[in-house]
Structure 1
Amino acid sequence: TKALKAKGQQLKGAQQLRKRKIRASPRFKRPDTYRPPRTPKYARRSLPRRNSLDAFKIMQYPLTTESSMKKIEEQNTLVFIVDKRSSKPLIKDAVKRLYDIQASKVNTLIRPDGLKKAYVKLSAEHDALDVANKIGII
């Protein structure tokens, strides 16, 4: 399926050639599924690990193509390239933290070159054109 192919590209990178898989055993192992990060009641280690996906790492850069400009003007939507491992809630929080805007919805896709693109639809009280000017897209 598309999702499994995208997951494989995310793990390996988009540059590798696809190899034919030979199934030598009759047993089929079910593929791993997404496991959300845990939220424990107390820390199991004295010094917690540094969060590798902070807001600055998640939001890599805004896209400035013609189609993304059209989205800004007509659909009140900003388009960003984000880290491949980031989820929609993480992207939503990162946008709020970095640009002080409330996102109503986030759509993501993984491009054929292996980068993840996020469409961030802003809530009605924020105008995408003003935010784009503030960021420096336009």
Structure 2
Amino acid sequence: MAPKAKKEAPAPPKVEANKIEDNNTLVFIVDVKANKHQVKQAVKKLYDIDVAKVNTLIRPDREKKAYVRLAPDYDAPDVANKIGII
């Protein structure tokens, strides 16, 4: 089951924007049933970028957020701009 990365989500809140700049991390809303390995593979396949680490959480409104830390070779603000997150 491939996760559904929503790149068409609105501009990220300030906290998530700080994660993009400070931690080289992108934030996606994914399918609740998707695991970290599936998220990593989907991001790699969809956007052709290497992923260093994935953290997930399920919000109280039952949406799953994936915090995807990019490999040091990639710059998160540039990637986010290219794929339309910011």
**What TM-score does the superposition give when structure 2 sets the normalisation length?**
0.90
> 1:90 and 2:75 equivalent?
no
User: In the alignment, is the contact (CA less than 8 A) between 1:81 and 1:117 conserved in 2?
Assistant: yes
Structure 1 stretches of at least 4 aligned residues deviating more than 4 Å after TM superposition: none
Higher strand share: 2
Instruction: State the distance in 2 between where 1:120 and 1:77 align.
Output: 5
SS in structure 2 of the partner of residue 81 of structure 1: strand
Instruction: State the distance in 2 between where 1:105 and 1:58 align.
Output: 18
Match of 1:73 in 2: 21
SS in structure 1 of the partner of residue 46 of structure 2: helix
Match of 1:120 in 2: 68
Name structure 2 gaps, 5 residues minimum.
none
1:65-86 Cα shifts (integer Å, max 9, x gaps):
1111000000000001000000
Match of 1:99 in 2: 47
SS in structure 2 of the partner of residue 58 of structure 1: coil
Instruction: State the distance in 2 between where 1:117 and 1:82 align.
Output: 6
Larger Rg, first or second structure (1 or 2)? 1
User: In the alignment, is the contact (CA less than 8 A) between 1:60 and 1:82 conserved in 2?
Assistant: yes
**What TM-score does the superposition give when structure 1 sets the normalisation length?**
0.58
Match of 1:9 in 2: none
User: In the alignment, is the contact (CA less than 8 A) between 1:122 and 1:128 conserved in 2?
Assistant: yes
How many residues get paired?
A: 84
Name structure 1 gaps, 5 residues minimum.
1-52
Overall identity of the aligned pairs, in %: 55
